[in-house]
Amino acid sequence: MRPINGDDVTAAVEGSAAVLGTAAERDWKGVKAWRLEWSCLETAEHLAAALFGYASRLVTGAQDWLPCDLTFDEDADGAGALEVLRSTGALLAATVRTTPRGVRAVHPYPFGSADREGFAAMGVAEVLLHTHDIALGLGVAYEPAEELAEAVLTWLFPHVQPGPAPWPTLLWATGRGELPGRAPVAEWRWRNNLVIPAERLTLVGVRPAAARDLRLGGDGGFEWMEGGPFEGTREASTHLVKAYESGVHRPEFGVFVLVRHEDGRAIGGMGFHGVPDEEGRVEVGYDLVEGARGQGYATEALRTLTEWALARDDVDTVFATIDGDNLPSQRVVSRAGFVRATVEEERTAQEENDGDSELQLHIRRR
């Protein structure tokens, strides 16, 4: 898997300009962009402003909104709008290419920030969707490359079950089309990945695109410490992909890669085995690259993730099932504030795990 990058932004803009360029001489001011309240020119202005805004925030890692915007001149026309689209698209593409891994800048949906891949995906999404709107308003045909639509879905719509084809699925997910067997979408937001900071590391949410790569033996777009990723992370990524493909994946209860602050290297994986049950119980699991063990990283990450989960209204209990002879893992959960469950609770857990009588249940409640 190649992470979404500046080349994808460039490809999206080039595809847009090629199609809309065939109608550049039309009256963009006097024609509405499909079902939008904006004219085609106003929609193009919004698109260019989005690309400019993404680049201007990402280039500095801005954590607050910048007091600037992009607007067209009063005499702007379709041809001029396309020149601005090419320019702002090139700015975002270059910014994505040169931004270091791990830099995040402000964006509201849904966790307050996005990384370079997130801004690239948002830029591509803006181009694809608003080119669609403008093209329909101008009466020209447009369909983007399938790989661009799929990239947007796997990087920004982890909560949306894949459909028979990426482009119709993206149109449906953004309220622009119908999909057989699915109700129309009236309100929607894309979702950048969740990151949870700890003292010495950050828990970085794994997107479906990255999980697919990890499942197939890749690095998921992370720079791993030697020996990683460990097999548990790959197995968890397999479960994530299955949940995504079946439409039940909830990103905040997925898989997180543990990225060390001192060198930006990934040292392990941690995450949930699914969403909370009706009683607010959720199971957690983890692994570390061998070279990172014995330094308190797993304890720090587990404590951080558990406290994040217990602060939610839908979680009352976080639990971990551990083999009886896995003493290091037992010490990790103990240091993270977990306690051994009651005999009855443990027996139930053993029955749910094929009657494994050696399995221990450790819990931490709100």
Verify that 168 and 313 share a domain, yes or no: no
Domain that holds residue 251: 195-365
Q: How far is CA 121 from the centre of its chain?
A: 9
Is 150 found in the same domain as 48?
yes
Report the number of distinct structural domains present in the chain. Answer: 2
40 within domain boundaries: yes
Q: Which of 337, 338, 339, 357 is nearest to 347 (CA)?
A: 357
Same domain, 235 and 331: yes
Do residues 300 and 244 both lie within one domain? Answer: yes
In a domain, 182, yes or no: no
pLDDT beneath 50: ranges in the chain: none
Do 75 and 209 share a domain, yes or no?
Answer: no
DSSP type of residue 183: P
Measured CA to CA, the distance from residue 158 to residue 245 in angstroms comes to 9
Alpha-carbon distances, residue 322 vs 283, 284, 359 (angstroms)? 11, 11, 6
Name the pTM for this structure: 0.95
Residue 190 lies in a domain: no
Is residue 189 one of the residues assigned to a domain?
no
> What CATH number should be reported for the domain holding residue 96?
1.20.120
Residue 180 in domain: no
Question: H or E stretch including 219?
Answer: none
Last-in-domain residue among 143, 173, 203: 173
Q: Would you state the pLDDT for residue 1? A: 63
Q: Are residues 11 and 148 in the same domain?
A: yes
Distances (CA, A) of 139 to 142, 161, 193: 10, 30, 36
pLDDT for the residue 344: 87
Write the CATH number for 326.
3.40.630.30
Q: Which of 141, 173, 205 is the last residue of a domain?
A: 173
Strand ranges in the chain using DSSP code E only, listed in sequence order = 104-106, 113-115, 195-197, 201-205, 255-260, 266-272, 281-288, 317-323, 339-340, 359-365
Residue 307 covered by a domain: yes
In a domain, 223, yes or no: yes
Determine the Cα–Cα distance for residues 123 and 103; give it in Å rounded to an integer: 17
b/e string for 196-227 if b means 16 or more Cβ within 10 A? bebeebbbbbbbbbbbbbbbeebbbbbebbee
**Distance from CA of residue 144 to its chain's centroid?**
21
Cα dihedral 109→110→111→116 (10° resolution): -40
pLDDT digits (tens, 9 = 90+) for 347-365: 888 787 776 778 899 999 9
Query: From CA 124, how far away is CA 13, in angstroms rounded?
Result: 8
The reply to whether 142 and 31 lie within a common domain is yes
Would you say 265 and 297 are in contact if contact means Cβ atoms under 8 Å apart? no
Same domain, 239 and 321: yes
Cβ atoms 317, 341 nearer than 8 A: no
Q: Is the same domain home to 159 and 235?
A: no
Specify whether 334 is located in the same domain as 238.
Answer: yes
* One-letter identity of residue 180: P
Q: In the numeric block, which tokens belong to residue 218?
A: 């890749």
Distance CA 303, CA 362 (A): 13
Query: What local confidence, expressed as pLDDT, does residue 359 receive?
Result: 86
Residue at 153 is within a domain: yes
Q: Are 243 and 278 within one domain? A: yes
The answer to whether residues 301 and 270 belong to one domain is yes
Looking up tokens 């199609």 gives 19
Sign (positive/negative) of CA torsion 197, 198, 201, 206? negative
